Amino acid sequence: MKHVYERNVAMKTRDGVILYADVWRPLEGQAPTLLMRTPYNKETTFFGGGPNNPIPSVIAFLNAGYAVVWQDARGTYTSDGSFTPKVNEIEDGQDTAAWILEQDWSDGSIGTYGGSYMGMTQWALAISDTPGLKAIAPTVASANWYSGLWYSQGGALCLSLVTWWNAMMYAAEEQRALQNGETSDPSALMRLGAALVDPLSLNEATPVADLPLHGKGRWFDDWLAHPDFDDYWQSQDWSQSMSSVTVPVLASTGWYDLKMHEQVADFVRVRTQGGSELARDGSRLVIGPWDHTNLTGEYPDRYFGTLALGDLSASHVEFFDQTLRGRAPETPAPRVRLFVMGIDQWRDEQDFPLPDTRYTDYHLASGGAANTRDGDGTLDLDAPSAEARDEFRYDPRNPVPTAGGALLPSVPGFIGPVDQRAVDGREDVLCYTGPVLTEPVEVTGFVELKVFVSSTAVDTDITAKLVDVFPDGRAINLCDGILRLRYRNSLSQPELMEPGEVYEVTVPMSVTSNVFLPGHRIRLDISSSNFPHYDRNSNTGGVISSEALEDMVVADNTVHHGGARPSRLVLPIIER
> Domain check: are 134 and 181 in the same one?
no
Residue 85 has pLDDT above 90, yes or no: yes
> 539 and 555 in contact (C-beta within 8 Å)?
yes
Which of 320, 349, 378 is the last residue in one of the domains?
Answer: 349
> Domain check: are 219 and 259 in the same one?
no
Residue 188 has pLDDT above 70, yes or no: no
Q: Is position 235 within any domain?
A: no
Q: Is position 163 within any domain?
A: yes
The string of pLDDT tens digits covering residues 272-297 is 999 999 999 999 999 999 999 999 99
pLDDT average, residue stretch 160-188? 75
> Domain check: are 519 and 371 in the same one?
yes
- Compute how many other C-beta atoms are within 10 angstroms of the C-beta atom of residue 524: 26
Is the alpha carbon torsion for 435, 436, 442, 448 positive or negative?
positive
> Domain check: are 246 and 121 in the same one?
yes
Q: Is position 233 within any domain?
A: no
Closest to 557 in 3D by CA, of 430, 484, 453: 453
> Domain check: are 547 and 468 in the same one?
yes
> Domain check: are 481 and 393 in the same one?
yes
- What are the Cα distances from residue 370, in Å, to 58, 379, 393, 415? 52, 9, 24, 28
> Domain check: are 365 and 502 in the same one?
yes
What pLDDT is recorded for position 371?
Answer: 41
What pLDDT is recorded for position 13?
Answer: 98
Percent of the chain whose predicted confidence (pLDDT) is above 90: 80
What pLDDT is recorded for position 82?
Answer: 92
> Domain check: are 504 and 361 in the same one?
yes
- 374 pLDDT tier (thresholds 50, 70, 90): very low
Closest to 531 in 3D by CA, of 253, 230, 224, 205: 205
Q: Which domain holds residue 18?
A: 3-147+240-349
Q: Is position 152 within any domain?
A: no
Q: Is position 536 within any domain?
A: yes
Exposure on the CB side of residue 89, measured as CA atoms within 13 A: 25
- Compute how many other C-beta atoms are within 10 angstroms of the C-beta atom of residue 291: 28
Dist CA 253 CA 292 (whole Å): 8
Dist CA 418 CA 403 (whole Å): 6
| Domains contained in the chain, number | 3
What residues act catalytically? 116, 257, 292
For the ranges 28-32, 146-150, 375-379, the lowest mean pLDDT is seen at 375-379
Which of 303, 333, 349 is the last residue in one of the domains?
Answer: 349
For the ranges 328-332, 338-342, 570-574, the lowest mean pLDDT is seen at 328-332
pLDDT average, residue stretch 168-194? 66
Residue 195 has pLDDT above 60, yes or no: no
> Domain check: are 176 and 254 in the same one?
no
Residue 206 has pLDDT above 70, yes or no: no
What pLDDT is recorded for position 430?
Answer: 97
Q: Is position 327 within any domain?
A: yes
Q: Is position 466 within any domain?
A: yes
Give the long-range contacts of residues 219-227, CB within 8 A, separation 24 or more: 219/84, 219/85, 219/166, 220/162, 220/166, 220/170, 223/150, 223/157, 223/162, 224/157, 224/545, 225/545, 227/151, 227/155, 227/157, 227/543, 227/544, 227/545
What pLDDT is recorded for position 372?
Answer: 43
What pLDDT is recorded for position 211?
Answer: 67
The string of pLDDT tens digits covering residues 408-428 is 988 888 899 999 998 988 999
Give the CATH number, domain containing residue 271: 3.40.50.1820
Q: Is position 231 within any domain?
A: no
- 388 pLDDT tier (thresholds 50, 70, 90): very high
Residue 548 has pLDDT above 90, yes or no: no
Which of 184, 199, 226 is the last residue in one of the domains?
Answer: 226
Give the CATH number, domain containing residue 400: 2.60.120.260
The string of pLDDT tens digits covering residues 458-481 is 999 999 999 999 999 999 999 999
* Total residue length of the chain: 576
| Three-state SS at 308 | helix
> Domain check: are 143 and 162 in the same one?
no
pLDDT average, residue stretch 109-115? 97
The string of pLDDT tens digits covering residues 25-42 is 999 999 999 999 999 999
| Three-state SS at 346 | strand
pLDDT average, residue stretch 246-265? 97
Residue 367 has pLDDT above 80, yes or no: no
Is the alpha carbon torsion for 455, 456, 459, 462 positive or negative?
negative
> Domain check: are 326 and 380 in the same one?
no
> Domain check: are 333 and 292 in the same one?
yes
Percent of the chain whose predicted confidence (pLDDT) is above 70: 91
